[in-house]
Structure 1
Amino acid sequence: MNNKQEIKAIIDKVIYKMEHMENSSNLLETCPISIIDIHDWEWSQGVGIYGLLKYYQETKDESILQFLIDWYETNIIKGLPEKNVNTMCPMLTLSYIYEYTGEKKYLALCTEWVEWIMNDMPKTEEKGLQHIVSGEMNEQQLWDDTLFMTVLFLARMGKLLDRRDYIHESIRQFLIHIKYLVDTQTNLLFHGWTFNGRHNFAKAKWARGNCWYTVGLPEYLEIVEDIDEGVKMYLVTTLEQQIVSLEKLQNNNGMWHTILDDSSSYQEASATAGFGYGILKAVRCGYVDKKYKYIGEKALEAVINRINDDGEVTEVSYGTGMGNTLDDYREIPLCAMTYGQALAILLLTEGMKLE
């Protein structure tokens, strides 16, 4: 296991790479807004800057905070994109930047966007948050991505503004997503569900989609703090049962396949980093049994082994829409992504706390 100084040196490289990330490979992007270029405002960059935020909270490195402030100022001047599940993601970090700076325009933006979630965001049957994204309405669809991209911010604003209605809505969203996305045979999550036809699309147990729950739940519990104990037990049990299946599916090298239960699909590093982080944090916080710690430690070593000399986290899959066939997931290209860098930063930062 690498020592803390070695891990910090790796984190510094990973951060530098992310802060300068552009579409250098000229990959033809399928998203209306680039999800590779760090300068744009989308979910990928939102995950990226959240990784930087968490590292700042641990280190108080003022250069990280200044990068985040500059990123927001540049995008605010440029003009923010339309509101949806994915463009909501950067708002989570902005809520913290408001607290650090006291800049009222940041709070005004956060308040405007969270009110949109509550009052104007399209809802599915049973009032789930419809997974509307840039260029696609995805009518009546629930995706596991939504929990991290939007629901964490909703909960965070509930705490920041002392709005119990926001907290209650965040609880509802976790419960309805679990209801329709968790496979009762494996306790893994399907990528999506649609009320139009009532099915789980390709029934893909997609790795990164699953990791949004593994990563997101410890973050959620940290944000809400005083959530009803019965709800907390239910959410944690869902996480622990997911980890039981992840333990069985982890490769000897510490990695997981992009389709978790399909060993013919490629191994994928962003999901591996997410699983490692979520498991190690859940163990440290006492949410799950410490016997699962070794799973996260194996993932940590696997991710470190996939960070090249330039600080790029390799073997990361490009953004992945809802697949109607499993081949849709198998054929997603691999390239450097801000969320791959960020999930690695989260895992490495958690790795520095290992004893």
Structure 2
Amino acid sequence: MIMEGLHLQAQAISSEFARAKAASVYAFMISGSSADNRMNIDLWDWIPGVGVLAIWRYFEKTGSRDALRYLTGWTARNLGKSCVHRTVNSTAPFALLPALHSVAPDDSYTESVRATAQWLMDQAPRTREGAFEHTVTEPAAFPEQVWADTVYMAVLFLAQAAGMLGSAAYAQEALRQLELHLRLLQDDATGVLFHGWNCGERHHMSGARWTRANAWVALGFPCIIQSVAGLADIPAGLSERYVRLMTALLDYQNERGLWHTVLDRPDFYEETSGSAGIAAGIIRAIECGLLDGKHREAADRTAMAIIGRIDEAGRVIGVSGGTPVKESLEDYNLIPFKDTLYGQGLALMLLSEYA
């Protein structure tokens, strides 16, 4: 691991240092140097979707023209693949299009955004509760299952489509989906989220308070709120649920600034991507007024720890592989570490906030 110039007890990360680290993470993402298929960015699915959204944030925060050129080229290469699947997970990359459209308007982006948003409104499978059923591109089905992952993979896009197209209907549905997911997944006892909920059988399946599930909502929620501003009123109870979640998450952060792969199992391994996503969510929530500044210290500690998990090539280590809702808590601790675009991406999201 690269630790040069890094003092773990420091209270702040210099912009220059964060920018250099973010640049190395970005470079590894687009290098094609990893043989792991989870690093194949030229696909249209959730894993590259998380990656390119992170590269967009890197561009927003640093002004990197190289990153913007890369994203424009990536979209030109891959947008034609977007019609192969219509699922929650394959919706994720579409969230890049409203962002790109804001700097380089393109009618093809508008058409794709409108068609995908309308599919979510009219055709996407829903549970009996009305929540988006979590659907994937792989040959697997999860009937009546609500996953926290859906908030980032599909609800975020719907909110950004609302902002791009000026649609109050899309904005209201995005907020309704947020409310449904939080109501069904939030643990009354602790305030944090379970990974999934089975609407038919009325239980949280393995009952795992999985860290990366919490990260998808921690980060997705403030991004959604920002996207629908001016189009729909944010229910007070919705914001209160989010604040309770974020406050509760701090109780599970360990002394190194990280979270374990299952929040309430400190005997399980520390997990990088979920930790980075939660910390990035804290910063975005402070930015849009959902949280006050006192929470920033927790994010700073995470960022210091994440920097220590980036190797000389820019590879982010300690990232658990893809994880559907498992049958038991112990199964989560058996997921191996992998090179992944979502691991790189969530670390890049976090570091970009300091660059």
Question: What's the TM-score once normalised by structure 2's chain length?
Answer: 0.92
* Contact 1:190–1:205, Cα closer than 8 Å, also in 2: yes
Q: Does 1:277 align with 2:280?
A: yes
Q: Does 1:19 align with 2:22?
A: no
User: Which of residues 121, 145, 151 is equivalent to 1:147?
Assistant: 151
Q: Which residue of 2 aligns with 1:321?
A: 324
Q: Which residue of 1 aligns with 2:41?
A: 38
The 3 A distance-change label for structure 1 pair 229 and 99 is closer
The 3 A distance-change label for structure 1 pair 145 and 40 is same
User: Which of residues 334, 337, 340 is equivalent to 1:337?
Assistant: 340
Q: Does 1:198 align with 2:202?
A: yes
Aligned residues: 343
Q: Does 1:177 align with 2:192?
A: no
Can you list the C-alpha shifts for 1:202-226, whole angstroms capped at 9, x where unaligned? 0100000000111011111111113
* Contact 2:52–2:93, Cα closer than 8 Å, also in 1: yes
* Contact 2:257–2:298, Cα closer than 8 Å, also in 1: yes
Letter in 2 for 1:10: K
Q: Which residue of 2 aligns with 1:54?
A: 57
The answer to which structure, 1 or 2, has the higher relative contact order (CA under 8 A, 6+ apart) is: 2
- Distance across 2 between alignment mates of 1:212 and 1:79: 22
Letter in 2 for 1:300: A
SS at 1:256 equivalent: coil
Letter in 2 for 1:318: G
- Distance across 1 between alignment mates of 2:344 and 2:84: 23
Letter in 2 for 1:65: L
Matches within 5 A, 1:244-283: 244-283=247-286
- Distance across 2 between alignment mates of 1:139 and 1:7: 42
Letter in 2 for 1:178: L
What is the percent sequence identity of the aligned residues?
Answer: 31
User: Which of residues 309, 318, 324 is equivalent to 2:312?
Assistant: 309
Q: Which residue of 1 aligns with 2:17?
A: 6
- Distance across 1 between alignment mates of 2:90 and 2:82: 12
SS at 2:297 equivalent: helix
Can you list the C-alpha shifts for 1:286-325, whole angstroms capped at 9, x where unaligned? 3212222211111111101111111111101111111111
- Distance across 2 between alignment mates of 1:80 and 1:73: 14
Can you list the C-alpha shifts for 1:131-177, whole angstroms capped at 9, x where unaligned? 11112231111100011100011111112112211111111101111
- Distance across 2 between alignment mates of 1:279 and 1:77: 35
For the aligned residues, what is the CA RMSD?
A: 1.6
Q: Which residue of 2 aligns with 1:215?
A: 219
Deviates more, 1:38-47 or 1:235-244: 235-244
Can you list the C-alpha shifts for 1:70-123, whole angstroms capped at 9, x where unaligned? 111111345643010110000001122233222211211111111111111111
Gaps in structure 2 of 5+ consecutive residues: 1-11
Can you list the C-alpha shifts for 1:248-299, whole angstroms capped at 9, x where unaligned? 2111111100000001111000011111111122224332122222111111
Q: Does 1:72 align with 2:58?
A: no
Q: Which residue of 1 aligns with 2:7?
A: none
* Contact 2:168–2:231, Cα closer than 8 Å, also in 1: no
Q: Which residue of 1 aligns with 2:131?
A: 128
User: Which of residues 141, 156, 160 is equivalent to 1:156?
Assistant: 160
SS at 1:88 equivalent: helix
* Contact 1:236–1:288, Cα closer than 8 Å, also in 2: no
- Distance across 1 between alignment mates of 2:309 and 2:164: 37
- Distance across 1 between alignment mates of 2:350 and 2:187: 26
Q: Which residue of 1 aligns with 2:9?
A: none
SS at 1:189 equivalent: coil
Question: What's the TM-score once normalised by structure 1's chain length?
Answer: 0.92
SS at 1:18 equivalent: helix
Q: Which residue of 1 aligns with 2:102?
A: 99
* Contact 2:167–2:231, Cα closer than 8 Å, also in 1: no
- Distance across 1 between alignment mates of 2:105 and 2:231: 27
Q: Does 1:290 align with 2:304?
A: no
